[in-house]
């Protein structure tokens, strides 16, 4: 869906705008003023912050630390019960590595997406105990557990203590655990790092940054501190597994960015849990030598390639099922949808249609569903209104998952569609693209690019600055890429810039026929630097090509 353009600042940025004015404009657009400017531009290491900065209860954190120390002193068996996504796997790796350093008898467990499902399951614990011939005295959940009331009660009856560390939305009453280290402000891996840092001064903050970015946490406040310092750690001293994953994907370690975490490394960690045994991703992150790291990095890459193929096939199938949808919800189900890719399909549908999406991979008895939503709808609240029809449900306001008896899918579809249609019936749904300011081509230069870099890392709630460029002349155009699906333009203006500016519009090759040489276009784009043979040239990365959708 074509977005509505909203320009935040009335200032027009040109070659007369000095760097201080430009930085102030960008900070003001992000409502960062006065004393907050230095905090934002120079975030301190999270070690220097207090528990309340993480929105974590100090008393519960102290209880967790005490129980873990007691377990180590008594030589008790500890189980870390993780999750199969990148946030859960990084959280598991962080805590396992730190507890191992202090001599704890600790084993990690990453549930299988299809066999174990999401969240701690007493049955999975019992099976793992039998497999390892070990009875656990203490279980620490990471990235799950906050809604697992009945499962934790089962474990309590077996005299197994449980510490919950989680960041998902809780129910009204907390589970009956020894301690609950919980915050919705940070990722599961960040909570794991906070707990681990009480035992280990060198707990892996790089993995916490990776989990934070891949779980789409807002990169402001405490999350910004975590990712800034996590990236510094990864650039200087990544663990062997991530170092090898960077190498085989041609990432420059010293230039590693939040984009690399979210779109290169994170998807490859996630792909293992989507396609196969997620423990292989944990083995990658916990590799102690280059040989082991190389083995599991290659496995991760191969799973990601398979994931990409399955994802595209799933999206193609889903889009055929969406035809003639008249509801405020996209709801599709199919036997071909694998549990590991239904969330990705839902995300793509929501992105395309700007509607909440529910995608269900149908199996004979218990089916899995995944949801993605828009800012106008809290999807987890809507799902919980149907909890009587679901086996289990968990997630956030914009992303959630559930299990359902297959025979109840039709009734669930009718119920959830009615709920969402009612919630959204009076709203005009259209994505809004927030643009920092209008910019002239004369301002596309290295100086302004360096100013923009001061705002890194970019991600949710701290988007990379983008600008609108009006009335540009198309000097050259050509399709690029293996499938000719990208459009490369040379653009000029009438404001004194003698050299045309190159611009690339990724995945917009289909607009080629609408753009003529000599015609004028309006674009929304971000500044970038193209490096070729050591020469750095400013360029634009186009986000939208506009024909008739300008709005203030």
Instruction: Report pTM.
Output: 0.91
* pLDDT for 552: 44
* pLDDT for 535: 85
Which residues of the chain are under the pLDDT cut of 50? 496, 549-552
Strand arrangement, sheet containing 399-405: 330-334, 357-361, 366-372, 399-405, 392-395
Q: Would you list the domain boundaries of the chain? A: 4-39+432-546, 46-302, 322-424
Helix axes 266-275, 86-101, angle to 10 degrees: 100
In CATH terms, is domain 322-424 a member of 3.10.310.30? Answer: yes
The beta strands (E) that lie in 103-157 are given as: 105-109, 138-142
Angle value at C-alpha 345, between 528 and 279, nearest 5 degrees: 90
In sequence order, the 6+-apart residues with CB closer than 8 A to the CB of 198 are: 61, 65
d(CA 71, CA 18): 59
In sequence order, the 6+-apart residues with CB closer than 8 A to the CB of 34 are: none
* pLDDT for 396: 86
Half-sphere exposure of 230 (CA within 13 A, CB side): 32
Give, in words, the CATH class of 4-39+432-546.
mainly beta
* pLDDT for 16: 92
Helix axes 205-214, 240-248, angle to 10 degrees: 50
* pLDDT for 449: 97
Length, in residues, of the chain: 552
Task: Give the H/E segment covering residue 539.
Answer: strand 535-546
In CATH terms, is domain 46-302 a member of 3.90.1150.10? Answer: no
Give the tens place of pLDDT for each residue, 120-172. Answer: 999 999 999 999 999 999 999 999 999 999 999 999 999 999 999 999 989 88
């Amino acid at each position: 869906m074509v977005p509505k353009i909203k320009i935040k600042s009335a200032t027009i940025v040109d070659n007369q705008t000095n760097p201080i004015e430009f930085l102030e404009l960008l900070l003001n657009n992000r409502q960062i003023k006065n004393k907050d400017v230095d905090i934002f531009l120079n975030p301190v290491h999270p070690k220097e912050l207090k528990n309340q900065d993480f929105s974590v209860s100090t008393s519960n954190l102290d209880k967790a630390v005490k129980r873990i120390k007691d377990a180590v002193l008594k030589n008790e068996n500890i189980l870390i019960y993780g999750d199969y996504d990148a946030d859960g796997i990084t959280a598991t790796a962080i805590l396992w590595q730190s507890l191992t350093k202090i001599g704890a008898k600790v084993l990690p467990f990453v549930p299988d997406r299809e066999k174990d499902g999401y969240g701690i399951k007493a049955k999975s614990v019992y099976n793992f105990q039998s497999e390892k011939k070990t009875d656990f005295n203490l279980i620490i959940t990471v990235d799950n557990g906050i809604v697992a009331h009945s499962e934790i009660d089962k474990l309590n009856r077996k005299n197994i203590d449980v510490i919950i560390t989680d960041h998902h939305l809780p129910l009204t009453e907390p589970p009956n655990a020894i301690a609950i280290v919980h915050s919705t402000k940070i990722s599961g891996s960040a909570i794991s790092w906070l707990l681990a840092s009480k035992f280990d001064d060198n707990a892996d903050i790089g993995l916490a940054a990776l989990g934070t970015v891949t779980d789409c946490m807002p990169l402001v406040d405490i999350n910004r501190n975590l990712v800034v310092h996590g990236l510094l750690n990864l650039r200087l001293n990544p663990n062997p597994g991530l170092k090898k994953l960077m190498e085989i994907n041609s990432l420059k370690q010293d230039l590693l960015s939040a984009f690399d975490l979210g779109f290169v490394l994170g998807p490859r960690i996630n792909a293992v849990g989507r396609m196969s045994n997620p423990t292989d991703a944990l083995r990658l992150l916990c590799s102690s030598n280059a040989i082991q790291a190389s083995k599991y990095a290659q496995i991760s890459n191969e799973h990601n390639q398979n994931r990409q193929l399955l994802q595209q096939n799933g999206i193609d199938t889903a889009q055929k099922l969406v035809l003639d949808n008249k509801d405020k919800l996209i709801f599709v189900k199919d036997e071909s949808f694998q549990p590991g890719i239904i969330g990705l399909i839902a995300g793509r549908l929501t992105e395309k249609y700007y509607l909440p999406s529910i995608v269900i991979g149908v199996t004979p008895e218990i089916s899995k569903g995944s949801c993605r939503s828009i800012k106008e709808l809290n999807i987890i609240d809507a799902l919980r209104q149907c909890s009587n029809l679901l086996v289990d449900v968990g997630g956030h306001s914009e992303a959630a998952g559930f299990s359902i008896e297959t025979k109840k899918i039709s009734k669930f579809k009718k119920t959830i569609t009615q709920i969402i249609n009612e919630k959204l019936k009076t709203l005009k749904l259209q994505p809004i693209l927030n643009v920092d300011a209008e910019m002239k081509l004369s301002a596309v230069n290295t100086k302004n690019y360096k100013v923009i870099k001061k705002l890194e890392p970019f991600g949710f709630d701290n988007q990379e600055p983008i600008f609108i460029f009006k009335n540009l002349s198309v000097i050259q155009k050509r399709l690029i890429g293996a499938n000719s699906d990208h459009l490369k333009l040379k653009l000029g203006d009438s404001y004194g810039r003698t050299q045309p500016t190159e611009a690339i519009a990724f995945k917009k090759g289909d607009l080629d026929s609408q753009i003529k040489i000599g015609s004028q276009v309006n674009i929304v784009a971000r500044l970038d630097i193209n490096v070729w043979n050591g020469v750095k040239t400013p360029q634009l990365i186009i986000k939208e090509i506009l024909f008739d959708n300008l709005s203030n």
